[in-house]
Amino acid sequence: MAESAGVYCPLPSEQDNVEQAKGDPALDSSTFIPPAPLMSPSIIIEFCDRCRWLHRATWVSTELFLTFPPPVLKAISIIPLNSEETGGSFRVWLNLEGSPPQLMWDRKIEGGFPELKGLKQRIRDYVQPGKSLGHSDKKSE
Amino acid sequence: MAESAGVYCPLPSEQDNVEQAKGDPALDSSTFIPPAPLMSPSIIIEFCDRCRWLHRATWVSTELFLTFPPPVLKAISIIPLNSEETGGSFRVWLNLEGSPPQLMWDRKIEGGFPELKGLKQRIRDYVQPGKSLGHSDKKSE
Amino acid sequence: MAESAGVYCPLPSEQDNVEQAKGDPALDSSTFIPPAPLMSPSIIIEFCDRCRWLHRATWVSTELFLTFPPPVLKAISIIPLNSEETGGSFRVWLNLEGSPPQLMWDRKIEGGFPELKGLKQRIRDYVQPGKSLGHSDKKSE
Amino acid sequence: MAESAGVYCPLPSEQDNVEQAKGDPALDSSTFIPPAPLMSPSIIIEFCDRCRWLHRATWVSTELFLTFPPPVLKAISIIPLNSEETGGSFRVWLNLEGSPPQLMWDRKIEGGFPELKGLKQRIRDYVQPGKSLGHSDKKSE
């Protein structure tokens, strides 16, 4: 499936007419628009790096993108924390235009890590209310 | 190694003195400070989602965090793109305070995906000049 | 998409008729059949763990499963090596019934890591000859 | 950290004395020994691919390798299942020399997915009894 979809996005060097590629804005980085500060909707995952939760955070990010592909979620940011005060932290925030990021999960408040099911339901209720999450909507994961 | 470090970041419910945990600001989400829009230094990875490069982007993110752990890199954002114009795009940006994000890699300009070695060297030159990247500094990956 | 497919595979505790679940062979581990030694076709990825290539190996594994979902590939095994003699090793093997595993990639012979495109083409020629790999079949990645 | 360790495992082409590299057994694939069928100790993760649990399985694999680096665990195999009878399956097996693979986790028996903590403790009791798992040995994850 991956990289084998029908869609084909060639490199300029693969284009039939090489002349066309010359002066191609695709190759002029001065025309590139850098990404906006905080896209909406987007997810931010903060975690205690001392606790070595990078791979857990990355996995959660992968799952959220597969359930809410763009443009439902436009970006996910991963923020490792390594100070004393952030020890043991694992937080998931949802950023929606017009308000500060809203907390979707906090390990200390919830007493543990997010089950994907519950986390997806909370996010769904904001970004795609009414969407069925299939498995994830059932009682037990 | 992971999750087995000496550092121990308990949940409030695991603290000896449960009374202490009551009224704990760690549990009062109204005191939580949401993450700032664009941290510095941070990395932004944009890619064509039609090309199904999510896992490639996520892998690059994992490698960059392992080479430049916080606070060298404070955040990595992953941005899937799915419009016609962004077809085939794979870009890595470095965000440093005081200037717009700087382009570290563009698949079309470079004619392919980043070798980790080269990408890490470019980022290193900004965020940790002089740091040896070990393997990655050698000629071939 | 993930975990939100129409297919629904309930836990026994979620089944309507709880009585049915009692004595359910699904819950009697003495009836479980452990996986066979080397499934066919399957992939084996060996790598030098001193070089910290676990995440690269894992990413390659993810991509191969997405391109060759079961039953095309029935298993992928990841083998980290940490002796002197295996320093710098990154090998991908294909296991097909009736012969010893065949080498698909060796970092030292090839002079670097597999581009996914080339690796997928080689594996495809054995397990699914004639299948188009879309992007991956084009000249440049 | 990754790919920046002191250890350096060069490609033959990077070796000072190119003559030495000629006839190098490292480059003669007929001398390569393919991996043995089932290494010991090793882990096997079987899961229902219809339920789209590949990324969960891969994440568990990453975490187990970080906690039990080689030679504690010598291999991890991932086996996606896609038949009717294996719907909803998520099983973790431990393979130890001299006996058939032993079941460490079954989603249906346990009523859900493994918390890493519990899974690591069970595996630890076989492969490295007495080893402290740090965080993972505490009561709540």
Distance from CA of C8 to the nearest CA of B (A): 25
* ipTM score for this prediction: 0.81
Secondary structure string (H, E, C) spanning chain B: CCCCCCCCCCCHHHCCCHHHHCCCHHHCHHHCCCCCCCCCCEEEEEEEHHHCCHHHHHHHHHHHHHHCCCCCCCEEEEEEECCCCCCCCEEEEEECCCCCCEEEEEHHHHCCCCCHHHHHHHHHHHHCCCCCCHHHHCCCC
Give percent of chain A with pLDDT exceeding 90. Answer: 52
Tokens for A132, please give them. Answer: 């069925």
At residue D54, the 3 state secondary structure works out as helix
Which position has the higher pLDDT, A31 or A115? A115
Beta partners for C79?
C46
Contact A8 C135 (CB under 8 A): yes
pLDDT at residue A121, rounded to an integer: 96
Question: How far apart (Å, rounded) are the C-alpha atoms in residues C117 and A13?
Answer: 17
pLDDT at residue A141, rounded to an integer: 39
pLDDT at residue D82, rounded to an integer: 93
pLDDT at residue A3, rounded to an integer: 41
- Is residue B29 within 8 A of residue B39, CB to CB? The reply is no
Alpha helices in chain D (DSSP H): 18-21, 54-67, 107-110, 116-127
Which position has the higher pLDDT, D25 or A122? A122
Could you tell me the pTM of the whole model?
0.84
pLDDT in tens, D84-127: 889 999 999 999 988 888 999 999 888 889 889 999 999 999 99
Question: How far apart (Å, rounded) are the C-alpha atoms in residues B134 and D4?
Answer: 4
pLDDT in tens, C96-115: 988 888 999 999 888 889 88
Q: How far is CA A80 from CA A68, A77, C24, C115, D56, in A?
A: 23, 10, 44, 30, 21
Question: How far apart (Å, rounded) are the C-alpha atoms in residues C23 and C39?
Answer: 30
Stretch D123-137: mean pLDDT: 85
Q: Say whether pLDDT at A1 is over 50.
A: no
C34 burial via Cβ count (<10 Å: 0-12, 13-18, 19+): middle
- Is residue B141 within 8 A of residue C112, CB to CB? The reply is yes
- Neighbouring chains of A at 3+ CB pairs within 8 Å? B, C, D
pLDDT at residue A29, rounded to an integer: 73
Contact A106 B62 (CB under 8 A): no
pLDDT in tens, A46-93: 999 999 999 999 999 999 999 999 999 999 999 999 998 899 999 999
pLDDT at residue A74, rounded to an integer: 94
- Is residue C15 within 8 A of residue D111, CB to CB? The reply is no
Taking only the tens of pLDDT, chain B with its 141 residues reads 334 443 556 666 555 444 444 567 777 777 777 666 678 999 999 999 999 999 999 999 999 999 999 999 999 999 999 998 899 999 999 999 888 889 999 998 888 898 899 999 999 999 999 899 875 465 433
- Is residue D39 within 8 A of residue D75, CB to CB? The reply is yes
Chain C residues close to D7, C-beta within 8 Å: 50-51, 87
- Neighbouring chains of B at 3+ CB pairs within 8 Å? A, C, D
- Nearest Cα to Cα of residue C124 among C94, C97, C91, C90: C94
Write the residue in C13, C54, C76 that is nearest to D111 by C-beta.
Answer: C13
pLDDT at residue D4, rounded to an integer: 41
Chain B residues close to A78, C-beta within 8 Å: 61, 65, 75-78
DSSP label at residue D39 = -
User: Distance of alpha carbon D115 from its chain centroid, rounded?
Assistant: 17
pLDDT in tens, C28-64: 777 777 666 678 999 999 999 999 999 999 999 999 9
